[in-house]
Amino acid sequence: MNDEQPLLLEERDARGVVTLTMNSPKTFNALGDDMLAALQSAVDRIASDGSVRAVVIAGSGKAFCAGHNLKEMIARPERAYYEDLFARCSRLMLSIQALPVPVIARVHAIATAAGCQLVAQCDLAVASTDASFAISGVNFGLICGTPSVALVRNLPVKQAMEMMLTGDFIDANEARERALVNRVVPPEQLDDEVERLVASIVAKPRFAIALGKELFYRQREMGTAAAYQLANQVMATNMIHECAQEGVTAFVEKRKPSWK
């Protein structure tokens, strides 16, 4: 891989699957200024590309992502810089959530601090058995406040709190038990397992997937009654769309749907 490019973008096939590979192995793919800018640019491009069906985020080298670049951070001890840095990282996380297509984290080795946040922020995650996870800033005197936002929206509250306050690592199987990742496989099976998940998603209509993802995150922040009201409207919108009309008709006619 070319170490001069912080991010590699690969459009793997005609299905519209895009892989973003963080490519700074010397920094363990830290979310430094260049990496954040490259990821944000790629996500912004994907957001306006109606041909994309799914996104995979991966890391090169010996880590998925080690979080923020602490060397860059300590070199600029300025409050304005830190506020801007965390705002840019938060913007990236929200942009991932706002994408109309699923984003899957392909995790190997370590995912720490903002790297663990990135895993938590992705819609889905597949990890190899050699992966480990922590929001470890507290070990350096820095509480992982922004990573905790994504973490508490994945894990039960006390488990998320424990990770934030201790900085301790959990392994891949424990991450699955705590609902931080969906699937765990041996390292040699990681790409195949990601592909199985991707194939299942892209076999469905893009319209329905996009509608479902948006609904999922919007209703999560609502009360129960408001969530049901929103879901009612979304399902009605979905039902009158041609993808649902074709899918339901195909089911009734006992045939496979033919989606464009």
Domain boundaries, the chain: 7-202, 206-252
Q: Cβ–Cβ contacts within 10 Å for residue 117, how many?
A: 27
For residue 3, the 8-state DSSP code is T
Q: At what angle do helices 242-252 and 206-220 cross, to 10 degrees?
A: 110
Residue 104: Cβ within 10 Å count: 24
Residues 6 or more apart from 82 whose CB is under 8 A from it? 73, 76
The position carrying tokens 């005609």 is 14
Determine contact, residues 1/8, Cβ cutoff 8 Å: yes
17 vs 55: CA distance, rounded Å: 6
How many beta carbons lie within 10 A of that of residue 106, not counting itself? Answer: 26
The torsion angles phi and psi of 106, rounded to 5 degrees, stand at -105, 105
d(CA 246, CA 103): 26
pTM for this prediction? 0.95
Residue pair 172/132 in contact by the 8 Å Cβ criterion: yes
Q: What is residue 11's predicted lDDT score, i.e. its pLDDT? A: 80
Low-confidence ranges of the chain (pLDDT < 50): 1-2
Distance linking the first and last C-alpha atoms of the chain = 36
Give 206-252's CATH code, choosing from 1.10.1370.20, 3.30.1310.10, 1.10.12.10, 3.40.190.10.
1.10.12.10
- At residue 259, the pLDDT reads 82
Strands laid side by side in the 170-171 sheet: 63-65, 110-112, 132-134, 170-171
Architecture, CATH, for domain 7-202: Alpha-Beta Complex (3.90)
pLDDT at 196: 97
How much is the pLDDT for 12?
Answer: 67
